[in-house]
A = this chain, B = another copy of it.
């Protein structure tokens, strides 16, 4: 089993790589080679299965070299995040759109249709979400990031329909708890709150306690990505895009779970100074029904307590899907 992760040094990519190496197999076959592509690949443990391909995904020749020996499963995670891509349009255009199209085009020209798991995003919907939302909601991206994700979804579905790439796209919500460093993500505050509370530090939340967002831990996200790769014998003409199930939680609910875990005293350190723009983007996420994704075996974290535990890596046991 030959596997590739693009954006392997990202927050999700790194955990996915570790999980795959630890588990040792994918789709019931031993992983012989795990190829990692990212601009910086320092710090990965020495493992005979690892093949490091440092470089930029916008380098078509690099993609060609990575795929030269054949590939079975690709996890395409690399992206310029939403906030950063909105400010530097050209960077997002090159990475999020053109490089993804180039990767798809090279994959369609490989010998056997490889499995492609694509990390899409809830940014495809835009900010005018219906009060009751489900998997058939209209897409109307309000960020170039979301527009480009939607375009790649469309390309992926088309190549699946043609039987040329066995693509599966997952629309990811905000994934927590990312490292506390500038990352170009507008949803960074969701992670920052968790880290601050766990560390017993004061934190000023940029949305109100009543603000509802969609949450998923990185661990749960990785499990869903692996599950997407392992969906067997998916007909080429079947639906290829899933909105992942999410936990819709208010900040107050998350803080309750944090207080239950780390002590009530922490509450006093959290204050609120809502930012109108962030509140509009992330503060009014409606309930989301995703029966189709659940029927296909995709999961959310279960409840706020599990979300906190998974997000802060408080137990090492992989939660079975």
**Interface positions of A (Cβ within 8 A of B):** 89, 93, 97-98, 101, 105, 136, 138, 140-142, 144, 147-148, 150-151, 154-155, 157-158, 161-162
Contact = CB atoms under 8 A, between A and B. Distances in A.
Interface of A is mostly: helix
Can you tell how many copies of this chain the complex includes?
Answer: 2
Contact of A144 (B89, B101, B138, B162): B162
Contacts of A105: 93
A157 B162 contact: no
Contacts of A148: 158
Contacts of A138: 136, 138
Contacts of A158: 141, 144, 147-148
Given A89-B162, A105-B93, A154 B141 contact: yes
A2 to B, nearest CB: 25
A93 B155 CA distance: 10
Contacts of A141: 154, 157-158
B161 A155 contact: no
A159 to B, nearest CB: 8
**Residue of A89, A154, A161 ringed by the most chain B CB atoms within 10 A:** A154
24 contacts: A89-B162, A93-B105, A97-B101, A97-B155, A98-B101, A136-B138, A138-B138, A140-B157, A141-B154, A141-B157, A141-B158, A142-B161, A144-B158, A144-B162, A147-B154, A147-B155, A147-B157, A147-B158, A148-B158, A150-B154, A151-B151, A151-B154, A151-B155, A154-B154
Given A148-B158, A154-B154, 12 more contacts: A93-B105, A97-B101, A98-B101, A136-B138, A140-B157, A141-B154, A141-B157, A141-B158, A142-B161, A147-B154, A151-B151, A151-B154
A157 B151 CA distance: 12
